Amino acid sequence: MFTCPGCQKYYNLSLRKPLKLPCKEQICLQCYNLQTEQVQNMQIQCPSCMNLSDKNQPINEYRLLIIYFFLIVALILLIYLFGIIQFAAQILIAVVAIYISIQFSFTYVWRKIGKRQKDNSRGINASNNLLLSYVKSIQSDLYIQNNEKYFHLDIQNQSAQEMEHQQILIKKLKSSATNIELLKQEKRQVIGQSKIYQINIVPIKKEPLSLLEVQTREKMNQFSLAKYKAFRRLVNDQLLKIDKDKVHNPKLLPLSVKTKLLYKATRDGYKAYDFHRLCDNQGPTISFILSELGFVFGGYTSLDWKSTQVIQGKKDTHAFLFSLTHQTLHLQRPPIQDHAVMYDQDYLMRFSGDIAIANDCNFINESQCQLGLSYKTQEGHQFGDEQAFNYLAGSQKFRIIEIEVYSAI
């Protein structure tokens, strides 16, 4: 309720104000602005229900936190004022009751003067008894009123503690926003997400999901699922274009092969052992990788993968890398070296040092990309630049959401 489903961060009253989309779901101001800056087709995608809405549709502020705090303060004031008014009313009723009882007593006594003394004495006793009953009633009301007052005070104390707790949370959120490294990470993630949003808006005929796809999606949270759906569409598109039984021109990857899925990380595991158990000695393969930042990239080798205790570099004149997020192909830099691919039992796959996917890559932030070491960088970049290191996966070091390896024969 208090976190944006897009960036998974708490709302605040400045950069991340809560907004209500036309689909009635919420999004923070920061995520909304990022989408409006990046999206080119004038549509905004809801991170909760994935619905698309026109960029020009009115968006209202969803002042959830402000209304919440105001309601708490108003409740405290109402309880306090209600307690004072009720207490004063009880006192006033008690005073009026005493006054009426006294007047009644004296009137009754004076009316009986001159009459029988015995009747007069009984009248006074009756008045006194009536007065005592009124006094007891007042005491009972005062006792109840005091208990209610203490109860209201307890509620006020609890509400004050809740407000203090909320203020502490808001301060922590504001302080975390000043972390420069985190902002850089968010910037890179936004670049990847802009590519995902551009892909999401392309009309695609819905096909029934296979059992494997259903099982894969059930394992993912909502934010990873949005990235995986974009990954699925990009990979399926490339598999169709490189199918040797079909003609597709132009195409990004210079292949014409038959493919078969050998390894899928969400199904088979993220350990180097799992990869080599299923991919070693299978001939030419093409690998598709989805980073935690939503970037889709990979590589092709015409050699067998192998698991060796000693790191071995191998020459492969046909090997290349690619980015499906940026739609770019990266061939080897001349002169071609003897380490286009590398065998290492501690890694799933290594394309020189340009792509290195580490063991337990879904948990450990040790997989890395250093584009430009053996493969060409994008025009305007060079090896050693931060832009070149972040180009393929969104960050030099990263974790993995999904890997798919296909035989390519």
Predicted pLDDT of residue 105? 64
Q: Domain limits at 390?
A: 224-408
Q: Residue 123 phi/psi, 5° resolution?
A: -65, -40
Domain count, the chain: 1
| Residue at 178: amino acid letter | T
Predicted pLDDT of residue 187? 62
Would you give per-residue pLDDT tens digits along the chain (409 residues)?
A: 678 887 888 777 777 888 888 887 888 888 888 877 775 656 778 888 878 877 677 777 766 656 765 777 687 888 878 778 877 777 878 777 777 777 666 566 566 655 555 555 565 566 566 666 665 666 666 665 655 555 555 556 666 777 777 778 777 666 665 666 666 666 666 555 555 545 444 444 556 778 888 888 888 888 889 999 999 999 999 999 999 888 877 899 999 999 999 999 999 999 999 999 999 999 999 999 999 999 999 999 999 999 999 999 999 999 999 999 999 999 999 888 889 999 999 999 999 999 999 999 999 999 999 999 999 999 889 898 999 999 999 999 999 999 999 999 9
Q: Does residue 7 sit within a domain?
A: no
Q: Does residue 122 sit within a domain?
A: no
Q: Does residue 341 sit within a domain?
A: yes
Per the listing, tokens 């390896």 go with 405
For the question of whether the overall pTM of this predicted structure is more than 0.75, the answer is: no
CB within 8 Å of 321: residues ≥ 6 apart:
297, 298, 299, 300, 329, 330, 351, 354, 355, 371, 375, 392
Q: Does residue 309 sit within a domain?
A: yes
Q: Does residue 32 sit within a domain?
A: no
Contact 394, 247 (CB under 8 A): no
Q: Does residue 89 sit within a domain?
A: no
- Written as six digits, the tokens of 189 are 């993630």
- Written as six digits, the tokens of 297 are 């990239």
Give the closest residue to 350 by CA, choosing from 278, 274, 272.
272
Rounded CA gap, 11 and 104, in Å?
Answer: 66
Q: Does residue 91 sit within a domain?
A: no
Predicted pLDDT of residue 34? 81
Rounded CA gap, 156 and 56, in Å?
Answer: 44
Q: Does residue 266 sit within a domain?
A: yes
Residues in the chain: 409
Collapsing DSSP to helix, strand or coil, 360 comes out as: coil
Predicted pLDDT of residue 170? 72
Collapsing DSSP to helix, strand or coil, 174 comes out as: helix
R_g of the chain, CA atoms, integer Å? 37
